[in-house]
A and B are shown apart, each in its own frame.
Chain A
Amino acid sequence: MTTDTVLDVRDLRVAFGDMEPVRGISFRLRRGERLGLVGESGSGKSLTALAIMRLARRAQLSGEVLLEGEDLLTLKPRQMEKVRGGRVAMVYQDPMSALNPVYTVGKQLVEAIQLHRRLDRRAARERAIELLDDVGVPHPQRRVEQYPHEFSGGMRQRVMIAMAMCADPTVLICDEPTTALDVTTQARIMDLLDRLVEEHDTAVVLITHDLGVAAGFCDTVQVMYGGRIVERAEAEALYRASLHPYSEALLGAAVDLNLELGVPIPTIGGSPPLAGSLPSGCSFHPRCAWAQDRCRTEVPLLREVAGRLVECHRADERAAAVKEETHVGA
């Protein structure tokens, strides 16, 4: 029997020459688990996904990406082609650029289906219609003959999801799947993903900058900063009280309908570091209100504090402070 773990990423690094935008990250994903990868641009979250898919062009990859025990980083390109879209599939932010504008949606779906299943054209077409129906595209019989430009943004994203789900993947990676969509469409797409992955027990890595979207979907959330995972916790615990000062700042700066009016939004100065010019020590220290001498020189490591993983020298103090607060509050 295999374990519950379907994806085991170990010390994954992505480098372009001297630049290392993903600097040794490790995490596990259980079957059916929903993991959020949140962070700002340049944090390395999208590159992590591309590295797992072996789609990071011209990048040097190191570490291990174990998919049900098999290291994807050692596969030959031909073998990887079978895995991609098969056992690991991906949904991208912009469905228009991921679909080919000169082929009908049906033709593209059929192609995807036939790559991973031995079906003749007719059967594959039937399957394509079924899939479109399943992702909530109305009139799938007619829509299958249409071109991507004849679909709205939301409907195109449904097509992409149908394509990603066509081989019933073990792991589905969604990179900002609703960022290009209107908010009402976003809600429907997230509902669709919710239902599909539940039905198929698919493990999902949801990459998003939208902390609200992650809140509604994920069991576990990992916050990335400067190419590292700086905090990993169960969603509820993280949103209730973040231990890493960066997670706290990120959550504090998020705007939702409950934000206090008439006062400045709590935020941190500065901007995220560039991969080529990382600060010494903890890469967050120049923006951190908690930074001490040690933070400027010594690189912190991801370690367990109060039932979660945090990469901060002062995590214990922060955990104690949070605990106290909760007690006082209770």
Chain B
Amino acid sequence: MSEPETTPSGAAPVPAAPGAPLVVASGLTKHFRLGSRETLVALDDVSLEIRRGETFGLVGESGSGKSTVSRALLGLLPLDAGSVRFDGLEVTRLKGGELRRLRKRMQMVFQDPFAALNRRQSVAQIVAAPLEAHGIGDRASRAARVEEMLDLVGLGPAYRERRPREMSGGQCQRVAIARALALDPELVVLDESVSALDVSIQAQVLNLLGELQQRLGLTYLFISHDLAVVRYMASTVAVMQRGRIVERGSREQLFRSAEHEYTRQLMSAIPAVDPTVERARRRSARTEAGVSSGG
């Protein structure tokens, strides 16, 4: 029961030439009322532009509003203010059939593959579900599509009849990716999609995502708390804190010279996989923070 290998095609997660804007969000604002007096500002005037074929990285700590942004972009969250345009269509104004048609073009992959997959269904049923929901094809053509999708994510036909509990986390995440791609979407929102995976499996899935992007020309919104993973995946990066985008720029710009204090804080908190570097880094961070005294 070994995990299939991703073909080392030399595929890099960096898209070729970024194209026209696919998603343009401006002034997204959302308040949640907490009781009678308090309100939580979940989104505070968030604007961003995701270009076709690129990976847009959205990074921030828990509660910063990353996932709320993605829900707003997909039209899953009624906004207090702001607009979202997907390929020129105003997402916030679409209703019924129009919205359903638009949703086919945007799909999501979540953090916990076990929670996101129906435990009672086989892999084939899971991957076919969106096709059925949108009334696409007949039994035979759907089965063919499932096979194609599983092959795409590196799972052989042997996996068709497996259930989620018979698979590893990495295999389940591949199934979730296959399901997301079954409708041939343009935008895939990857919300902490590799965060729950083991190191070696995370690397496999990141490589797979890069490869799929190149083959299918996908646009990714890559949401993660892990700045190191975002750096590897995304060509454009936005940093969120308390419902606001505090800094945004190209990867090169952001990682060479972050301007916002919070971005710098995030960067300096990421451990280096090297004891010499990491200890020196921790020591200097501690001295700066003035907590080294202890005694």
Contact = CB atoms under 8 A, between A and B. Distances in A.
Given A215-B278, A256-B228, A250 B200 contact: yes
Interface stretch (B33-41, B77-85, B90-98, B268-276): B268-276
Interface stretch (B45-53, B124-132, B204-212): B204-212
Interface in B239-279: 251, 255, 265-279
Interface string B214-247: 0000000000011111011000000000000000
Contact of B199 (A186, A211, A263): A211
Interface stretch (B24-32, B107-115, B155-163, B164-172): B164-172
A63 to B, nearest CB: 26
Interface string A145-159: 000000001000000
A306 interface: no
Contacts of B204: 267, 269
Given A186-B269, A253-B199, A239 B275 contact: yes
Interface stretch (B5-13, B136-144, B145-153, B176-184): B5-13
B272 A184 contact: no
A211 B202 CA distance: 14
A198 B295 CA distance: 10
Contacts of B102: none
Contacts of A195: 291-292, 294
Nearest to B276: A236
A320 to B, nearest CB: 24
B258 to A, nearest CB: 11
Contact of B275 (A216, A256, A271): A216
A187 interface: yes
A259 B169 CA distance: 24
B118 interface: no
Contacts of A213: 271
Given A191-B289, A255-B228, 13 more contacts: A187-B285, A212-B270, A212-B272, A215-B274, A216-B271, A253-B203, A255-B232, A257-B267, A262-B12, A263-B12, A264-B11, A264-B12, A268-B200
B62 A287 contact: no
Contacts of B291: 136, 191, 195
B232 to A, nearest CB: 6
